Structure 1
């Protein structure tokens, strides 16, 4: 993958619906070159697909936080099932090190976040927790 391919992928990550003409202009190459490179990247498996992000998926949660959890014994799977059942939970991640699970939480108010944190702390098997508010996000997969 050369520099043009990398720039092409960067442009597609920014806007996968960009026209071939717009991509060609941004990269300083022809439309035919852009089309050929996209097809080559798809055939080689470097681009495995394109996706749709729905309006609801891109909704911004005004209050976001990361909750790190220490779990007693072998209750991780049960706790993750409970976490994934909560509407405010955006993602759960298992980790190594001090914390067993990191939970991404999004709510509309601090009071709502506090209620979710309290609910999670009451789950059986939660030994300890620490929460950090997310102030800003520089890059997101969405």
Structure 2
């Protein structure tokens, strides 16, 4: 992956629906070259997919947070499976360092978030946790 591919990926992260012609103009390339680079990045697994976040998604879960979890013993896989089935859990990430898992949460109210945090803390294997509220998202598509 070269510098042009990195610029292409950065542009797509800003606007995943940008037309090929706009991407080509931004990068100083032809549309065919941009299309070929996109296809190459997808085939190599660098681009794994495109997603859409709707205003409805944000409206249904305006209270968002990240919950970092430390798991005791070999229970991380079991905890991950329980979390992925929870309606307030948007994503679960395994990580290294102090925390074993990072859980992205979304709820309608702070009270709902508080209830979810207590539910997760009670899961067998969850040793400690720390939660941060997401106040604003500056990177990515602008919120309207």
Whether the TM-score (by the shorter chain) exceeds 0.5 is yes
The reply to whether residue 39 of structure 1 matches residue 61 of structure 2 is no
Question: Is 1:59 matched with 2:86?
Answer: no
Contact 1:42 1:49 survives alignment (8 Å): no
**Residue in structure 2 matched with residue 106 of structure 1 by the alignment:** 106
Compared CA separation, residues 48 and 90, structure 1 to 2 (3 A): closer
1:73-112 → structure 2 map (5 Å cutoff): 73-112=73-112
Query: Structure 1: how far apart are the matches of 2:103 and 2:14?
Result: 26
Larger Rg: 1
- Unpaired runs of 5+ residues, structure 2, are none
Q: What's the CA shift for 1:23?
A: 4.3
Match of 2:127 in 1: 127
TM-score normalised by the chain length of structure 2: 0.72
Which one is further off, 41-50 or 9-18? 41-50
Q: Provide the C-alpha distance between the structure 2 equivalents of 1:74 and 1:86, rounded to a whole number of angstroms.
A: 21
The 1:21/1:59 distance shift into structure 2, 3 A limit, reads same
* Counterpart-to-counterpart distance in 1, 2:10 and 2:38: 13
Tell me the alpha carbon deviations over residues 76-109 of structure 1, each in whole angstroms, 9 at most, x when there is no partner: 1111111111010111111222211111111110
Q: Distance in 2 between matches of 1:35 and 1:42?
A: 11
Change in 2 beyond 3 A, CA 1:17/1:104: closer
User: What's the Cα RMSD here?
Assistant: 3.0
Q: Is the Cα–Cα contact under 8 Å of residues 91 and 105 in structure 1 kept in the other structure? A: yes
Cα distance 1:54–1:137, how it changes in 2: closer, same or farther (>3 A)?
closer
